[in-house]
Amino acid sequence: MTNTGPALTIGVSTKMYFSFARTIEYAEAMAGLASSHPAVTDGTVELFVIPSYPTLPEVVRMLSGTPVRIGAQDVATDDSGAFTGEVSAPMLAEIGCTLAEVGHAERRRLFGETEEVTAAKTQAALRNGITPVLCLGEAVEGTAPDAAAEVIRQLDSALQGTPRGSAVIVAYEPHWAIGAAQPAPAGHIVAVCRALRDHLDADERLDDGRVIYGGSAGPGLLTTLGRAVDGIFLGRFAHDPAALGVILDEAASLHQPES
């Protein structure tokens, strides 16, 4: 696999924190950042946002003409049928989504999603031209080698049946770090993300594979991790557009050409 993406991928999920009106305000602010911040305009950063389902058509409209990618917080396992309350990958693609979050720890814990469900959702996204943002992570804190082995196992499970030429964004989110005061220790993140990236690089089915870190990610983390990760997946910290701008400043600084 050859990574064909930008230097860094930075994404934000609004989860269920925003109202419809606040989501629109946030999308407007993100459009301004995308059109003015040099880290985005020069291609150093690929920016994405994953808002709630009802806001997706309007967010797609508002961010059209910008390089920001829009994703859904979930996707159905099947493309059509009697699945009340579900939203299919073909419909997401139809309205302009290019990403779908799959396998988040909250979906696994709160809604009982198994690895089989995660795999089915991953493949539903891929067969419809949508890049899965595949969330992987160990349940309890332990050693980096053990964590790497566990998330690689989860990755292999989710990618069963993946067609050649696919793209995937792997979001490493140790479950024990989600919502914590601090992210996982830097050395732990680096070791696990490098193992994931090596595993993706060896997968000949993938044309593009990136490894980003989530789990209480915030300011200073990109600088600390350097090029050990391909980006970060932000939650509540980046729900303030000004805070997102701080992260973009950090990305621009990190990827300045060496003199």
Tens of pLDDT, residues 53-63:
999 999 999 99
C-alpha 118/C-alpha 161 separation (Å) is 13
C-alpha 90/C-alpha 75 separation (Å) is 10
Q: Give the angle 228-71-35 at the CA atoms, nearest 5°.
A: 75
In order, the DSSP letters of 48-92 are EEE--GGGHHHHHHHHTTSS-EEEES---SSSSSS-TT---HHHH
Cα 176 → chain centroid: 18
Contact indicator for 168, 134 with CB cutoff of 8 Å? yes
Tens of pLDDT, residues 158-216:
999 999 999 999 999 999 988 887 888 999 999 999 999 999 999 999 999 999 999 88
Domain extent listing, the chain: 8-253
Pick the closest to residue 137 from 107, 161, 98 (CA basis): 107
Q: Please tell me the predicted confidence (pLDDT) of residue 42.
A: 93
Q: What is the CATH number of domain 8-253?
A: 3.20.20.70
User: pLDDT > 70: what percent of the chain?
Assistant: 96
Region 122-149 average pLDDT? 97
Region 6-33 average pLDDT? 95
Q: Please tell me the predicted confidence (pLDDT) of residue 2.
A: 52
Residue 259 has pLDDT above 80, yes or no: no
Residue type, 51: P
Decide which of 110 and 5 is more confident.
110
Q: Please tell me the predicted confidence (pLDDT) of residue 83.
A: 98
For residue 97, what is the enclosing H or E element?
none
Residue 38 has pLDDT above 50, yes or no: yes
Q: Give the angle 177-15-18 at the CA atoms, nearest 5°.
A: 130
The pLDDT-based confidence of 7 (bands split at 50, 70, 90) is confident
Residue 163: CB atoms within 10 Å: 9
Helix (H, G, I), strand (E, B) or coil at 181: coil
Longest dimension (CA), the chain: 59
Mean pLDDT of the chain: 94
Which residues are annotated as catalytic?
A: 104, 173
